[in-house]
C-alpha cells in the first residue's frame, strides 16, 4: 500500500516524511523532483498487547509505504501539467497526503510571500484538476480519431465516460466526487487521476498554534472523501528524536495530548477503507491489512495463497473477546472461538486461525 506525500515547496513534506519513516531524507526546499520512499509500520496497541501475551519470536505490524515527491513547484498554477516524473511516481499510490503550510518561518519564507491555508488548498486542488483535465483531453482527442477509423463499442463507451469526466473537471469538481459504475471505475482507474485519489490535507501548523488546532481546522471547508488533519511537523520531528522516557514530559509542556503521527497513519488507513486482522502464536504475531468487507477466504490469501486455495474454515475470536479471557485455551473453554466459512466478512480486530488443506 503506497501513500504519496505531496505539496507546495517549503510546506514541510521532507520534515514529515523523515519523521514518519525515521529516515534522514536530506530535504531540498524548492529543488528538483526528488523522491523519498520509506516503509512505516502502522502502530497498533492491540498487536502490542497480543505480543505481550504470546511472547512470539517475531511481531509484524501492518505497513504503509510513504513516498514524498517534490515537483509541484515546477508548474505551479500553469496549464502545462505536472512533470511526467511527478505523475509517474504517484501512479501506484492509493491515496495522497497533501502538506499545507500554516507555519511561519522567516528563514524559509512561503514561496507566495505569505501563509494562506485556503489559498494553498485551492492551488493544489486546481493543479490536480488541470493535470487530470489535460490527460482527459489528450485521451478524448485520440479516441475521437480512433472512432473515425473503426467504431468499436468499448471506445465509444470510454469516450462518453471521459467527456463526462471533462465536464466534471471543467466545473471545478474533483473526480473522486463522481459516481462510476463498476466498468467505469475500472476504465478510470487506469488513468490514475490525481483528483480521483482519496486525499488527506495535512495542515502543518505553527509550533505556537498547536493549542488552536481545532479552530484552525474549523475554517477549512469539508469535502467528500477528503480528510483534514493538523499537526506541527517540526514538533513531531522533535518528539520522534526524543528518548521514549522524555516524550511524556515534552508533550505535556507543549499541551499535546498525543503525537500526531499515529493519527496521520490511522487517517491514511481509514481513508483507504482498510482494516486489520491478526494471526497469533508463539512464532509470530502478525497484523494483516485488508479492505473492509473482505471475506475470510480472500483474507486468508493475504497470509499465503495456499491458505486461500485450500481454505476450509476460519477459527475466529475478536480481539476484545479474546482479551476478556486472556488465552486461546480459555476462549475455547468458554465457547468464544467461532468457526466461520469462506463468505464470512472479516471484522477489524478479528484474530483468525485458518484451517486449510492443499
Ligand X SMILES: Nc1nc2c(ncn2[C@@H]2O[C@H](COP(=O)(O)OP(=O)(O)O)[C@@H](O)[C@H]2O)c(=O)[nH]1
Residues that bind Mg ion (CB under 5 A): 13-14, 27
Q: Report if residue 89 touches ligand X, rule: CB under 6 A.
A: no
- Are 232 and 103 in contact by the 8 Å Cβ rule? The answer is yes
- Are 224 and 174 in contact by the 8 Å Cβ rule? The answer is no
Q: Report if residue 4 touches ligand X, rule: CB under 6 A.
A: no
Q: Please report, for residues 103, 227, 249, 271, the alpha-carbon distance to residue 117 in angstroms, rounded to integers and kept in the order given.
A: 10, 15, 31, 22
Judged by CB under 6 A, which of 232, 307, 346, 354 binds ligand X? 232
Q: How far is the CB of 309 from ligand X (least distance, A)?
A: 45
Q: Report if residue 14 touches ligand X, rule: CB under 6 A.
A: yes
Judged by CB under 6 A, which of 234, 294, 300, 352 binds ligand X? 234
Q: Report if residue 140 touches ligand X, rule: CB under 6 A.
A: no
When CB distances are held under 5 to 8 angstroms depending on the partner's kind, the choice from ligand X, Mg ion, none that residue 103 binds is ligand X
Q: Report if residue 76 touches ligand X, rule: CB under 6 A.
A: no
When CB distances are held under 5 to 8 angstroms depending on the partner's kind, the choice from Mg ion, ligand X, none that residue 195 binds is none
257 CB neighbour count, 10 Å cutoff? 7
Judged by CB under 6 A, which of 15, 19, 268, 289 binds ligand X? 15
Q: Cα separation of 127 and 21, whole Å?
A: 27
Q: Give the nearer residue to ligand X in terms of CB position, either 227 or 234.
A: 234
When CB distances are held under 5 to 8 angstroms depending on the partner's kind, the choice from Mg ion, ligand X, none that residue 71 binds is none
Q: Is 284 left (phi over 0), alpha (psi -120 to 50) or beta?
A: beta
Q: Give the nearer residue to ligand X in terms of CB position, either 32 or 304.
A: 32
- Are 356 and 306 in contact by the 8 Å Cβ rule? The answer is yes
Using CB atoms within 10 Å of the CB of residue 350, give its burial: 0 to 12 exposed, 13 to 18 middle, 19+ buried.
buried
Q: Report if residue 74 touches ligand X, rule: CB under 6 A.
A: no
Q: Please report, for residues 28, 67, 72, 237, the alpha-carbon distance to residue 10 in angstroms, rounded to integers and kept in the order given.
A: 9, 17, 11, 16
Q: Cα separation of 235 and 238, whole Å?
A: 5
Q: How far is the CB of 145 from Mg ion (least distance, A)?
A: 40
Q: Give the nearer residue to ligand X in terms of CB position, either 42 or 72.
A: 72
Q: Report if residue 204 touches ligand X, rule: CB under 6 A.
A: yes
DSSP β-ladder status, 311-318 and 350-356? antiparallel
Residues that bind ligand X (CB under 6 A): 7, 9-15, 27, 29, 99, 103, 105, 108, 204, 206-207, 232-234
Amino acid at each position: 500500500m503506497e501513500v504519496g506525500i505531496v505539496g507546495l515547496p517549503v510546506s514541510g513534506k521532507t520534515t514529515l516524511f523523515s519523521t514518519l519513516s525515521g529516515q534522514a531524507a536530506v530535504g531540498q526546499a524548492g529543488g528538483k523532483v526528488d523522491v523519498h520512499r520509506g516503509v512505516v509500520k502502522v502502530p497498533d496497541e492491540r498487536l502490542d498487547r497480543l505480543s505481550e501475551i504470546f511472547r512470539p519470536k517475531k511481531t509484524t505490524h501492518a505497513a504503509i509505504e510513504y513516498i514524498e515527491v517534490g515537483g509541484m513547484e515546477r508548474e505551479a498554477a500553469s496549464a502545462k501539467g505536472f512533470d511526467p516524473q511527478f505523475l509517474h511516481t504517484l501512479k501506484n499510490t492509493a491515496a495522497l497526503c497533501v502538506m499545507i503550510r500554516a507555519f511561519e518561518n522567516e528563514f524559509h519564507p512561503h514561496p507566495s510571500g505569505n501563509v494562506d491555508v485556503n489559498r494553498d488548498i485551492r492551488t493544489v486542488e486546481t493543479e490536480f484538476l488541470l493535470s487530470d483535465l489535460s490527460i482527459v483531453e489528450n485521451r478524448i482527442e485520440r479516441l475521437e480519431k480512433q472512432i473515425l477509423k473503426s467504431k468499436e463499442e468499448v471506445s465509444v463507451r470510454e469516450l462518453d465516460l471521459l467527456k463526462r469526466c471533462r465536464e466534471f473537471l471543467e466545473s471545478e469538481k474533483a473526480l473522486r466526487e463522481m459516481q462510476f459504475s463498476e466498468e467505469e471505475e475500472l476504465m478510470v482507474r487506469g488513468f490514475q487521476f490525481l483528483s480521483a485519489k482519496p486525499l488527506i490535507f495535512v495542515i502543518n501548523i505553527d509550533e505556537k498554534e498547536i493549542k488552536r488546532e481545532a479552530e484552525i481546522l474549523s475554517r477549512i471547508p469539508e469535502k467528500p472523501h477528503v480528510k483534514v488533519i493538523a499537526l506541527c511537523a517540526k514538533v513531531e520531528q522533535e518528539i520522534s528524536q526524543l528518548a521514549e522516557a522524555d516524550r511524556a514530559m515534552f508533550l505535556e509542556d507543549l499541551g499535546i495530548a498525543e503525537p500526531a503521527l499515529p493519527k496521520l497513519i490511522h487517517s491514511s488507513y481509514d481513508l483507504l477503507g482498510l482494516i486489520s486482522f491478526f494471526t497469533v502464536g508463539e512464532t509470530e504475531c502478525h497484523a494483516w491489512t485488508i479492505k473492509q468487507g473482505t471475506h475470510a477466504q480472500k483474507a486468508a490469501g493475504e497470509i499465503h495463497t495456499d491458505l486461500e486455495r485450500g481454505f476450509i474454515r476460519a477459527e475466529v475470536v475478536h480481539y476484545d473477546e479474546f482479551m476478556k479471557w486472556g488465552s486461546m485455551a480459555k476462549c475455547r473453554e468458554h465457547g468464544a472461538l467461532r468457526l466461520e466459512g469462506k463468505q464470512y466478512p472479516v471484522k477489524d480486530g478479528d484474530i483468525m486461525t485458518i484451517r486449510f488443506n492443499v
